[in-house]
Structure 1
Amino acid sequence: MLRTTLLSMTAAAALAAPAFAGSHSEMKDIVATAQEAGNFSTLLQAAEAAGLVETLAGEGPLTVFAPTDEAFAALPEGTLEELLADTDQLTQILTYHVVEGAVMSSDLSDGQMVATVNGAEAEVSVGDSVMIGDATVTTADIEASNGVIHVIDSVLMPPM
């Protein structure tokens, strides 16, 4: 079951890759890949507000569990505005979405704890779908020149 799930996620990522890769043969960094995808404008706005864009575009490798614009829109009303005004808390939340190294879906296992850049760990669940914390990975293994993006359907909140 685990192997089938991961293989189907890899196949889904392969199908999604052209949408992220664009028409250029050269692979783009995490930020450029997310910009090109078009559904991460809120994440990129938050990363800019927190001063993290340069890090995400840097050498890496990094793995980003990237919430979509829809994931940010699902936050309670006013939450995003509060976070954008509190860069310390925003930085803690955004760095909870980042893991050092290029972690592919095949590297993840059920019950695994992954150390995030903010210092807290997040639990991985692998079953019918792959989850990190309470977020479901909707597209896995989008490769960038400096790491990997896994698209998730909700914003992760670190333990406080």
Structure 2
Amino acid sequence: MKFISALFFAAAAIAPVTADTGKEEPAASIIDLAAADGKYGTLLSAVTNTPGVLDAVVANFPVTIFGPTDAAFAAIADTVAGLDEATLATVLAGHVVAGVYTAEDLITAGCLELMTLAGSNVRVLVSNGMVMVNDSTVIQPDIIGEGGVIHGIDTVILPGTFMPCPAPATPAVPATPGTPAMPTMPTMMGKGGKGSKKTSSGKGGKGSSSKKSSSSSSSGKGSGKGH
């Protein structure tokens, strides 16, 4: 949880603050904020220079962008260099989700499967105090501006890295109206007790008859001998 707390402090520092001048200031766009940050040059260049990508992002505003840093792109520079234009466009679109999901939204949800503009899913999972996007880690949350929010991540999201959210525990199924409820343990024990008493009583009765017959028989034998 320390890591998440640190993320919130970072987010507070990054979120744009409007000066109280008495006039409405135009909000900075998420693109401008990312450019001003200085760690997202490769991402912005790729989005701007790959045909159709920037238009698709703007057309879906507001959006949530999981933005790889320059270091993340540098780590797979050879892979990116080998991608054709269409494939690169798909990879970039796989980092963008329509709608706004702040860090608080993601942490509260615990695990989300979100559809990207590429038509593929990403899993956002809170694990060990960190927010994971597939196998990437959010290292700079809540760059919030006009057009949505950017969360900086430490690796590029590549196809084939999606895994679904863990299945939740199966909830107890409520009884259908009109269906008799299953007996509770005390009730079941109570029924068993009644059965036991009847059985015991029946067995006791048979045992008593035997003893009485035996007694009578003995008495008769004794009398005969006496005479």
| TM-score calculated relative to the size of structure 1 | 0.82
CA contact (8 A) 2:7 2:141 kept: yes
After TM superposition, give the deviation of residue 39 of structure 1 in Å.
1.3
**Which residue number in structure 2 is paired with residue 60 of structure 1?**
61
**Which residue number in structure 2 is paired with residue 156 of structure 1?**
157
After TM superposition, give the deviation of residue 59 of structure 1 in Å.
6.6
Which entry has the higher C-alpha Rg, 1 or 2?
2
CA contact (8 A) 1:120 1:159 kept: no
Greater helix content: 2
List runs of 5+ in structure 1 lacking aligned partners.
none
Letter in 2 for 1:26: P
Per-residue CA distance 1:113-138 (angstroms, 9 max, x = gap) = 11111111111110311010011000
The 3-state SS of whatever aligns with 1:35 is helix
The 3-state SS of whatever aligns with 1:139 is strand
Aligned counterparts of 2:14 and 2:29: Cα–Cα separation in 1: 17
CA contact (8 A) 1:44 1:53 kept: no
Higher relative contact order (CA 8 A, sep 6+): 1
CA contact (8 A) 1:64 1:98 kept: yes
List runs of 5+ in structure 2 lacking aligned partners.
20-24, 162-227
| Percent identity of equivalent pairs | 35
Letter in 2 for 1:64: I
**Which residue number in structure 2 is paired with residue 91 of structure 1?**
89
After TM superposition, give the deviation of residue 5 of structure 1 in Å.
5.8
CA contact (8 A) 2:15 2:145 kept: no
Cα distance change, pair 139–22 in 1 and its aligned pair in 2 (3 A):
farther
Aligned counterparts of 1:157 and 1:106: Cα–Cα separation in 2: 25
Greater strand content: 1
**Which residue number in structure 1 is paired with residue 123 of structure 2?**
123
How many pairs are equivalent? 152
Cα RMSD after superposing both structures: 2.4
Aligned counterparts of 1:92 and 1:131: Cα–Cα separation in 2: 21
The 3-state SS of whatever aligns with 2:140 is strand
**Which residue number in structure 2 is paired with residue 105 of structure 1?**
103
Per-residue CA distance 1:79-125 (angstroms, 9 max, x = gap) = 22223xx1110011111100001111122233321111111111111
Letter in 1 for 2:136: A
**Which residue number in structure 1 is paired with residue 190 of structure 2?**
none
Aligned counterparts of 1:136 and 1:66: Cα–Cα separation in 2: 11
After TM superposition, give the deviation of residue 63 of structure 1 in Å.
0.6
